[in-house]
Amino acid sequence: MERKKSKVKRRSKTLQGIIGVFCLAALGFVGVWAFNNAMEGFNASKADPISAVSQVTSRNDSADTGAENASSLTDDTSVVPDESKSEESKADVSGDGSEAESEAGSTPEETEDSSSAAGEEDSSSESEADVPGDTNAGKFPTAAEIKDDFADAVFIGNSRTVGLGMNCGKPLATFYASTGLNVNTIWDSATITLDNGSYGTVFDALAQKQFSRVYVMFGINEVGWPYWDSFQSQYEDVVNKIKELQPDARVYIQSVLPVSSLAINTNAVFTTENIDGLNEFIKNAAANTGCTYLDVNSALRQEDGSLPLEASTDGIHLMKDYCMVWLKYLADNS
């Protein structure tokens, strides 16, 4: 009897063991299944295609009335305080490029907004609608608000004008501008893309077609010249050449835009006093050539005559919003 009982006990223990193993196996299966399903679900969500957000439309008739765009850049700040004292017309003053190394980076990571930074008064900015990404939405004019499309106009100048061309949102306007261009180098500097795709001078480009309006701005690269009367004389030569090539156009001579205190970091010649002084000579050049003088400087200067700090990262080249203020002044006054 005892033997029978122990046999049964042994048997039941064995059976219990087998059942236990089966249960563990079952749990194992369930666990693995759950894990697999969870991984599949995760992978499926990662496989979803990313939707491409189209930011740039593929239709537009931006024209480009002549391919001569402002893409030839320049670095304006190649003003050279030429100590040579030569004063003949077309004195060769070559930019040493030092100013060009503007340490533009005072606020490099700024967003599109330009004037949020300092709360400084910004100059005459009318402003309405939104500028994309501009935290000062509503403070500056937009391309859409400036009704003048400048389709009949050409802008001639240095890198500040290049910047205007890049940021103004006026695809029908023409820009013959180049970084570092001045009233001396304009005669020989072949940096303008012509209609045929080759490079030529500003005058080569102007010979291609007629415009109704010509806006000219030089001076920032010449403010360090030792003789401003020489600058004035050369500027008049340039304007007369423009008038010869564009006999029916209204030619506007723009004052040099102000600079902010940051510009001193580029070159000590960039002071409000120098800018204002040079503008007197530019005004004379306009009068002597029978052209209209447009005081765009007044649209962008603060009370002390300087450019607002937030208008430029290097004190010289305007950020987009301030380019629009400039453009609006031109639209309203010409």
Minimal distance, residue 59 CB to other proteins, in Å = 6
Q: Are 140 and 134 in contact (CB under 8 A)?
A: yes
Q: Please give the structure tokens belonging to residue 146.
A: 């400036």
Task: Assign 292 to helix, strand or coil.
Answer: strand
Residue type for position 41: G
Closest to 305 measured CA to CA, from 331, 265, 274: 274
Are β-strands 153-157 and 213-217 bridged in parallel, bridged antiparallel, or unpaired?
Answer: parallel
When the beta carbons of 179 and 233 are compared against other proteins, the nearer one is: 179
When the beta carbons of 77 and 233 are compared against other proteins, the nearer one is: 77
How far is the C-alpha of 164 from the C-alpha of 321, rounded, in Å? 10
When the beta carbons of 234 and 313 are compared against other proteins, the nearer one is: 313
Minimal distance, residue 311 CB to other proteins, in Å = 10
Task: Assign 133 to helix, strand or coil.
Answer: coil
Q: Are 284 and 235 in contact (CB under 8 A)?
A: no
When the beta carbons of 29 and 92 are compared against other proteins, the nearer one is: 29
Minimal distance, residue 71 CB to other proteins, in Å = 5
Minimal distance, residue 29 CB to other proteins, in Å = 3
Minimal distance, residue 237 CB to other proteins, in Å = 22
Minimal distance, residue 190 CB to other proteins, in Å = 9
How far is the C-alpha of 209 from the C-alpha of 153, rounded, in Å? 11
How far is the C-alpha of 92 from the C-alpha of 56, rounded, in Å? 44
Minimal distance, residue 326 CB to other proteins, in Å = 12
Q: Please give the structure tokens belonging to residue 82.
A: 């030429």
| CB-neighbour burial class of residue 218 (10 A; exposed 0-12, middle 13-18, buried 19+) | buried
When the beta carbons of 78 and 234 are compared against other proteins, the nearer one is: 78
How far is the C-alpha of 298 from the C-alpha of 306, rounded, in Å? 10
When the beta carbons of 196 and 247 are compared against other proteins, the nearer one is: 196
When the beta carbons of 97 and 277 are compared against other proteins, the nearer one is: 97
How far is the C-alpha of 190 from the C-alpha of 185, rounded, in Å? 9
When the beta carbons of 72 and 255 are compared against other proteins, the nearer one is: 72
| CB-neighbour burial class of residue 235 (10 A; exposed 0-12, middle 13-18, buried 19+) | buried
Q: Interior CA angle at 240 toward 164 and 293, to 5°? A: 50
Minimal distance, residue 206 CB to other proteins, in Å = 18
